[in-house]
Structure 1
Amino acid sequence: MTGTDRDPPPPEVALAAPWPNPARSAVHLRFALPRPLEATLRVHDVHGRLVRRLMQGPLAAGWHGATWDGRDEAGRTAPPGMYLARLEAAGTTARTRRFVRIE
């Protein structure tokens, strides 16, 4: 899901709380850009290691969404634990949210 028009974009980059949290399977992530920007949305483990890149590229202003299916870049199921959703926009602005994956 990208460019949803449910809400107007906020005046700055925003990353909503992941849901559900804790999650047994998929985790939904929603974020907003105040203007068209180059953005990257990634999932990292608590040690900062990249688990999965969900989105990368130029995106329109407004709300966007992505779903993490609980798998890493190689398609393996990630173990239970705490994870970080990290949004970077324009190469400088970053927002991070924590969530937990359970069995």
Structure 2
Amino acid sequence: MGIALHQRAKTFKIISKHPETMVETIRDRLGRGATYNFVEGGYSNEQFREITCVINRLEESKMKEIIYEIDPTAFVMVYDVAEVRGGNFKKHNNH
């Protein structure tokens, strides 16, 4: 069928002081899109834009470099993803 199945992916969830710059840099350097979720701190009640981005495992070190460069104090969670289906997971050519 027409469903793309990719294995060995990683999901990064990032809360940063600079979400727009983070997403633009991920797009420019990795050719990956990202989404925002609006979240609220359970203790602080502060509102954040949580960035979610799915990459292949070979891009993980580059993603970590980008995050550290843009916001070394960012809150980052990394998940192993069993499979990715649908959407536009194909890497965009960023050359």
TM over 0.5: no
The structure that is strand-richer by fraction is 1
Larger radius of gyration: 2
TM-score normalised over the length of structure 2: 0.32
Q: Which has the higher contact order (CA 8 A, sep 6+)?
A: 2
The structure that is helix-richer by fraction is 2
TM-score normalised over the length of structure 1: 0.30
